[in-house]
Structure 1
Amino acid sequence: MSKLEQLLSQYAAYHLDHKNILTHFVGIPLIVFSIMCLTARAGFHFSGFEITLALVLIIVSCVYYLKLDLWFGCIMLLLFSAVYPLALKIAGFGLAAWLMLSIGIFVVGWVFQFVGHFYEKKKPAFLDDLVGLIIGPLFVLAEAIFMMGFRQELQQRILEQARKQRAAMDTKPVQI
């Protein structure tokens, strides 16, 4: 099993309910975008270029995604590149407007996440493993690709492993 399959199946084990997956199509992009907005304000100029914390996070994330899977990494890079200018625009707003909009988007994104996990009856994956925070966006992309009918063999391997992991989780006693 590849590292990509391992990470996506581990994440998918917390996300087997279709309603939960659908809420993640809204929640995760909102959360990622809000983080871009919040971090796009911090930066410096270097040789005529503005280097923001958001740009650094995009580059680091995409290098990680590219290492996991070339196609998913390239698509993620395109998606991040498409929304980064909007994040920069929002970061250019006055302090109050920037914070209210960025934090508002963040909160709405998390509301969608928790509604989805209500349907799933499972806590979010990152509560057990912080890697889930960076895998979440990749999971949403992979699910979109799968829904379009691409990479079906990968989807089947991930689902098979996720169901096994979920069954193991469900047999463990609840810890309080």
Structure 2
Amino acid sequence: MNLRKVVTIVDETLLEGGREVDPVARVAVVAAIIDNPWAGQGFVENLNAGIDEVAPQLGQLLAPRVMEALGVPLEAFGKAAIVGLNGEIEHGSGLIHTLKFGNYFRDAANASTLLPAVEKRGPAGTTFDIPLKHFTDATIRSHHQSYEVRIADAPHPDEILIALAGASRGRPQQRLAALNTEQ
């Protein structure tokens, strides 16, 4: 894996709707910008060798950094793959939609659900929203949220930006009824 850059973002919401947020809502995002392992090869029929090599390295790199940056117990999580313009969306999807990547985060967070994801192709500075859901029960509405990210110089055309995000709680001031009230 050729790693160019790691970016860490920590966001704390103290007020929402004119009211104090207690406890403070924290979101941490850690993104790795890597060379696309399939760049310059044309259409690659079988992505497995690259996935097997790179996905575990990304999981090992990103998962502990998100947990450390969050600094409090995680309650919601998500992931993203943004592929530079010379790559295919499938290149990013291959790296994040494998247990060889996601299990590192699930294990670090003691999570049991699958991570929601966003994948897209775009130029450097592309804005993307990482979806977040509860880490043990994806039906808990209060934790359905997204976090907007933009890294000005990534991804370059032959790069992939891979990110993990974690939140300390659900949406600040959430007031929706539980899903089971509508079933």
Q: Identify the TM-score tier after normalising by the shorter chain.
A: under 0.3
Structure showing the higher strand proportion among its residues: 2
State the TM-score, normalizing by the size of structure 2.
Answer: 0.27
Structure showing the higher helix proportion among its residues: 1
State the TM-score, normalizing by the size of structure 1.
Answer: 0.27
